[in-house]
Amino acid sequence: MYRFRVPHWFWCLSAAAALGGPAAAQAPSVGFVFPAGGQTGTKATVTVNGGNLQGATGLLLSGEGVKATITNNANAGAVPVELEIASTAAPGVREMRVVTPRGTSNAGRIWVGAFPESNETEPNNSLATANKLDKLPVTVNGQVNGAEDADFFTFQAGAGDTYVFDLVAYQMSSGLDGYLALFDAKGKVLKSGQEPFDRDPRLVYTFKDAGTYSIQVRDSMYRGGGNFTYLLTLGRLPVITSYLPRGGKRGQTVNVRVEGANLGSMTTMPVQVPAEGERVQVVPPTPAGPAVNPISLVVSDLDEAVETEPNDTSAQATALPGVPIAVSGRIDRRGDVDVYKIRPTAAANLTFEIFARRLGARIDSSLRVLEPGGKVIQENDDADGKDSRIVMGVQANTEYLVEVTTKDQNFGGDAFYRLEIDPPAGQDFRLSASPDSVNVGQGGSTVVTVTVQRINGFNSPVELRVEGLPQGLTASPGLIPAGAQSAQFTVTADPAAAQGAMGQIRVFGKGKIGDKDVEKAARPTEGYKVPLAPDPQPGQPVPQRPTEIMTATAMPPTAYALTLAPDQRAITVKRGASVMIKVTAVRQMGQNAAINLTVAGQPANVTPALQNIAEKMTEATITLNVAANAPLVKQNVIITGTMGNNVQVAPAITLTITE
């Protein structure tokens, strides 16, 4: 089974959850898919499990090479789907969303693998009842169905055979925090493996004796449930456990040194680095077939170098040919110190930066820049998460030592890093948008939150726009003010919008860097529950993770909708003045309860005077009082209504404050 990891260098962030979407209970939801996928070049039948799935009209899949067909859409809780997977389909995880007249679901996940597949059969929660696996390699689709469930599989291995046991769960957004244990025929544990919540375990084991063995899969905390799905691939498979370098220069071919198991005589492999993009991922073709896991390289404009051991001291320092440069290294043993030597040809400001955790490594790096005699000039531990960074001036024709160590004493194949030494990067920004499924009731609105990561002093406003909205849906203007970290805009559905009208949308933000307008696409994100973490309290940020697809869909009317007159969706008001906003409730299905109104997003020193919509009434007036010292800004104000547990929003008001 191939492994794929979503990069963490930017997307491990928390953003404020979008204000409550319209009657989310009506929209379809996906809990899990089982079996979790299929093998390339085959057809597979899977079931999408969730809620409100009846009447599904289509499926959305990320990537290419997989065709999905709904075979029965009558059941609200389960939709059978036939997958036709091309032999050329890229390995790894795919998003799957169900489209219905009531909206589009959140992202479920399927997996495209390279090996024959089978399904776990219960009962198999002991060595005595273990599922027998006759043909290897194989990928087993399984579920840890309930608390204390453990799944056992038995197989034969020969003397001297090296087997790989590769688990995929976290990578599929499963609820399972996987634990693997390998047993001999007498029930003795030969090896076990567990990883942090953001990784899946893998065991590599060489059997001394031929015989019958068993592998166990369970949750680390003995939890379970329908969404605790996994794929276990096992057999005498090639696997890459370490490789260097971790990056390559655009357009060049990099000769990558590889280490692992069942690789035969293979020690290197060429990788063609593309001219575009930030990462390149390649499945190594070994003499024994494709490796279980791909290798991934950073794509950059820097010359590349690789550490040469031993380089533990200044006398042994790996001499780098010049700067700017990127060098890949590894902490080989406990207490290992990697020392590099540079001699810049010109005075300059340089950034010395470690990329490790952001690339999936296991180290908590520590970085120092020293004089040749050992005097420390600057040092840093954590700058970007656990990765280190130093920015300092250097002199021409002067020697400097750069020292890389770890704080956590991890070492080995996963204790790698990439050290970049180059001039400080210019200003830049990146965007994320949530929610990734925007479901809007006819005549209503919902909020989209866009968050900006400001890089190296970027402080300008970011103007937002949306592409791909279906007919009948419109987006309000959106602007992240200068210095602000986020902003909200609304998507509104016309009362006559067709139910189920859906578009795959993209959110863009344009900001000024220097004298140039730069536009970036926002990465969609979804809120999720971190395993074993407490639920966020009201007002607290919700953890977010990236998705590939963002949709906007018109759904049936909700219990009520809030509207504004068209001329009140863009308001200009002077400092020291006030403006009155009439909010109208369009009630459905006899919903006559009172609606409590709140205001969010207003600039500093703008105070709302609130009035609720009384029981059986349809209108209320909100006054925005703008103080004389209010900032001269333009930003969106969001009015939210709450009726019981039903939360709705009015179209965004773009408020401009002038002198």
Per residue in 321-361, pLDDT (tens digit) is 999 999 999 999 999 999 999 999 999 999 999 999 999 99
Q: What is the structure's pLDDT at 25?
A: 56
Asked if pLDDT for residue 249 goes beyond 50, the answer is yes
Omega before 435 within 30 of 0, i.e. cis: yes
The two beta strands, 389-394 and 348-355, are antiparallel
pLDDT at 192: 97
Comparing CA positions, the residue from 108, 109, 153 lying closest to residue 131 is 153
The enclosing H or E element of 88 equals: none
Which candidate, 323, 325, 543, places its Cα nearest to that of 432?
Answer: 543
pLDDT confidence of residue 9:
29
User: Above 50 in pLDDT, residue 19?
Assistant: no
Percent of the chain with pLDDT over 90: 89
Q: Which fold has domain 560-658?
A: Immunoglobulin-like (2.60.40)
pLDDT band at 141 (very low <50, low <70, confident <90, very high): very high
Whether residue 22 is predicted with pLDDT greater than 60 in this model: the reply is no
Distance CA 220, CA 195 (A): 9
Q: How confident is the model at residue 536 (pLDDT cuts 50, 70, 90)?
A: confident
Asked if the model's pLDDT at residue 211 lies above 50, the reply is: yes
Residue 18 pLDDT level (bands cut at 50, 70, 90)? very low
pLDDT at 8: 33
Q: What percent of the chain has pLDDT over 70?
A: 96
Write down the pLDDT at residue 90.
87
Q: What is the per-residue pLDDT across 443-459, written as a single tens digit (0 to 9) for each? A: 999 999 999 999 989 99
Alpha-carbon distance of 224 to 658, in angstroms, equals 57
The CATH number of 325-422 is which of 2.60.120.380, 1.20.1050.10, 2.160.10.10, 1.10.10.10? 2.60.120.380
- pLDDT recorded at residue 589: 79
Nearest to 92 by CA among 363, 279, 270, 358: 279
Please report, for residues 114, 246, 274, the alpha-carbon distance to residue 252 in angstroms, rounded to integers and kept in the order given.
Answer: 28, 14, 8
Does position 7 have pLDDT exceeding 60, yes or no? Answer: no
- Do 332 and 420 touch, CB atoms closer than 8 A? no
pLDDT band at 21 (very low <50, low <70, confident <90, very high): very low
pLDDT at 43: 97
Residues 6+ positions from 358 with CB-CB distance below 8 Å: 7, 8, 9, 384, 385, 387
Rounded Cα distance, 603 and 625, in Å: 11
> Whole-angstrom Cα distance, residue 47 to residue 579?
54
Residue 17 has pLDDT above 50, yes or no: no
pLDDT band of 542, cuts 50, 70, 90: confident
Q: What pLDDT score does 482 carry?
A: 94
Residue 479: closest CA among 265, 354, 633, 340: 633
Two structure tokens written together for 9: 């260098």
Residues 60-81, mean pLDDT to the nearest whole number: 96
22, 436, 493, 570, 632 from 637: Cα distances, Å: 18, 21, 19, 10, 15
Tokens of 15: 């953003």
- Left (φ > 0), alpha (ψ -120 to 50) or beta: where does 321 sit? alpha
Domains 428-552 and 560-658 fall in the same CATH topology: yes
Residue 285 reports pLDDT greater than 60: yes
Rounded Cα–Cα distance for residues 596 and 218 (Å) = 47
> With 50 as the cut, is the pLDDT of residue 617 above it?
yes
**Exposed, middle or buried by CB within 10 Å (0-12, 13-18, 19+), for 433?**
buried
Provide the token pair at 515. Answer: 């004298």
Taking alpha carbons only, the member of 425, 436, 554, 445 closest to residue 500 is 554
Cα(488)–Cα(16) distance, integer angstroms: 10
Greater confidence (472 vs 15) lies with 472
Q: How many CA atoms lie within 13 A of 162 on its CB side?
A: 10
How many CB atoms are located within 10 Å of the residue 306 CB?
17
Domain residue ranges of the chain, discontinuous segments joined by +: 325-422, 428-552, 560-658
How many angstroms separate the CA atoms of 387 and 356, rounded? 6
* Predicted TM-score (pTM) of this structure: 0.89
Q: Is the pLDDT of residue 605 over 90?
A: yes
CATH of 428-552 given 3.30.70.260, 2.60.40.10, 1.20.1740.10, 3.20.20.190: 2.60.40.10
Taking residues 454-477, what's their average pLDDT?
A: 96
Confidence of residue 269 (pLDDT cuts 50, 70, 90): very high
Q: Taking a C-beta distance cutoff of 8 angstroms, is the pair 235, 138 a contact?
A: yes
Does 526 score more than 50 pLDDT? yes
| Tens of pLDDT, residues 405-430 | 999 989 999 999 999 999 998 999 99
Amino acid 396: pLDDT: 97
| pLDDT reading at 1 higher than 80 | no
The per-residue pLDDT for 170 is 92
What is the pLDDT of the chain when averaged over all its residues?
93
Instruction: Inform me whether the pLDDT recorded for 2 exceeds 60.
Output: no
| pLDDT, position 227 | 93
Largest separation between any pair of C-alpha atoms in the chain: 86
According to DSSP, residue 425 is labeled: P
